């Protein structure tokens, strides 16, 4: 199967239920996110979660907030001061156990939520005063501590084009990793996986690509679980790094090298001009990538046809179209 063909499965992504339009918030409302529900939702399968409603607090319910130590806050209702910390932590531990049985590829949390916020959640001092933006929602914290390698974001951060592309790219890489594991993580299949992700990883970190390559070279010498843990950790660590314009130009130039004997002088000049315009941020990434894909088809370049970098996620998401 080439990288451009239909994938064998859709990523399974956890999401805060209110973001899909479910009326589960404390006031009986929702926070529908149209991109998540109507655009990304066509390409992933969601596992909706609402900690507050699912742990039995009802809809509507009294609003609550985090109080005390930002590293270990309490969850307290605002008007009556009821401490719900232990109730929420017990539910979260059980829910995380349930989610561990699923092949999740990521999670999208609700920004600012005392149960589902992944970062910068308000934590109020015990004695009163201004809150600190240093907390994590109790469920989000339990989830992230249990699954440190899974891609996570909140809907607020996903409004940033680069953050959105990075998150969704990691989600689809995780889906391919799940498929690799499902078929058996043999040294040979890992080599193929690593090879096909070469340019994608290089666009984030050449150093990580090289270290992962050294790890793959010793695959037959390591216990399977050790190999799995080290490779996945290095892979997701690399992909969390920002793929800058400079890094993309390096990956694109590397791909161009595969056509040095096939391209005519005019074709080579055109491609170099497009790469230069992208490097100067006059064109979006989709332009040089589309031109490279054209040459992949024209010259039947099998190696590049297998590179996920040229097809990292569904084109309908338009993640590489921003300037």
Taking residue 106's Cβ as centre, other Cβ atoms within 10 Å add up to 22
Phi, psi of 310 (to 5 degrees): -80, -15
Per-residue pLDDT of the chain (323 residues; tens, 9 = 90+): 344 443 357 999 999 999 999 999 999 999 999 999 999 999 999 999 999 999 999 999 999 999 999 999 999 999 999 999 999 999 999 999 999 999 999 999 999 999 999 999 999 999 888 999 999 999 999 999 999 999 999 999 999 999 999 999 999 999 999 999 999 999 999 999 999 999 999 999 999 999 999 999 999 999 999 999 999 999 999 999 999 999 999 999 999 999 989 999 999 999 999 999 999 999 999 999 999 999 999 999 999 999 999 999 999 999 999 86
| Confidence (pLDDT) at 323 | 64
Phi, psi of 287 (to 5 degrees): -70, -55
CA 193 to the chain's CA centroid: 18
Q: What residues does 49 pair with on adjacent strands?
A: 16
| Confidence (pLDDT) at 3 | 44
Q: For residue 81, which of 60, 69, 67 has the smallest C-alpha distance?
A: 67
**Alpha helices, DSSP H only, in 51-158?**
51-52, 85-100, 138-146
Place of tokens 């994608």: 200
Q: What residues does 13 pair with on adjacent strands?
A: 46, 106
The ranges assigned to domains in the chain are 12-159, 161-323
Q: Coil, strand, or helix at residue 239?
A: helix
| Confidence (pLDDT) at 37 | 98
| Confidence (pLDDT) at 8 | 56
Burial class (CB in 10 A: 0-12, 13-18, 19+), 221: exposed
CA angle 80, 86, 90 (to 5 degrees): 135
Q: Give every CB contact of residue 270 below 8 A, 6+ residues apart in sequence.
A: 291
Count helices and strands (H / E) in the chain: 13, 8
Q: Which two tokens stand for residue 54?
A: 């699912």
- CB burial of 185-220 (b: ≥16 within 10 Å; e: otherwise) equals bebeebeebbebbbbbbbbbbeebbeebeebbeebe
Rounded to whole angstroms, what are the CA distances from 299 to 1, 240, 266?
A: 18, 33, 16
Q: Which two tokens stand for residue 219?
A: 């695959």
Q: What residues does 111 pair with on adjacent strands?
A: none
DSSP conformational letter for 83? B
Instruction: Enumerate long-range contacts of 17-20, CB under 8 Å, 24 or more apart.
Output: 17/48, 17/49, 17/50, 17/53, 18/50, 18/110, 19/108, 19/110, 19/155, 20/46, 20/48
């Amino acid at each position: 199967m080439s990288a451009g063909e239909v994938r064998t499965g859709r990523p399974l992504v956890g999401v805060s239920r209110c973001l899909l339009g479910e009326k589960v918030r404390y006031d009986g409302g929702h926070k529908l996110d149209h991109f998540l529900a109507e655009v990304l939702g066509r390409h992933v399968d969601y596992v909706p979660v609402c900690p507050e409603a699912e742990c039995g607090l009802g809809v509507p319910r009294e609003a609550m907030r985090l109080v005390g130590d930002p590293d270990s806050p309490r969850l307290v209702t605002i008007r009556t001061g009821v401490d719900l910390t232990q109730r929420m932590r017990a539910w979260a531990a059980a829910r995380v156990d349930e989610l561990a049985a699923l092949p999740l590829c990521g999670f999208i949390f609700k920004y600012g939520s005392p149960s589902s916020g992944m970062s910068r959640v308000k934590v109020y001092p015990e004695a009163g005063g201004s809150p600190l933006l240093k907390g994590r929602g109790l469920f989000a914290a339990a989830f992230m501590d249990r699954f440190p390698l899974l891609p996570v974001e909140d809907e607020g951060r996903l409004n940033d084009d680069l953050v959105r592309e990075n998150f969704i790219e990691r989600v689809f890489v995780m889906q391919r990793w799940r498929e690799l594991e499902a078929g058996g993580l043999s040294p040979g299949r890992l080599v193929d996986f690593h090879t096909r992700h070469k340019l994608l990883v290089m666009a984030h970190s050449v150093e990580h690509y090289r270290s992962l390559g050294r790890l793959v070279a010793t695959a037959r010498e390591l216990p399977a679980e050790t190999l799995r843990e080290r490779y996945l950790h290095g892979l997701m660590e690399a992909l969390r790094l920002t793929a800058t314009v400079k890094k993309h130009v390096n990956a694109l130039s590397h791909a161009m090298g595969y056509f040095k004997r096939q391209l005519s002088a005019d074709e080579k000049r055109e491609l170099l001009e497009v790469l230069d315009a992208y490097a100067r941020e006059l064109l979006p990434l989709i332009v040089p990538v589309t031109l490279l894909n054209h040459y992949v088809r024209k010259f039947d370049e099998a190696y590049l046809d297998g590179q996920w970098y040229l097809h990292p996620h569904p084109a309908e998401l338009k993640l590489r179209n921003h300037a």
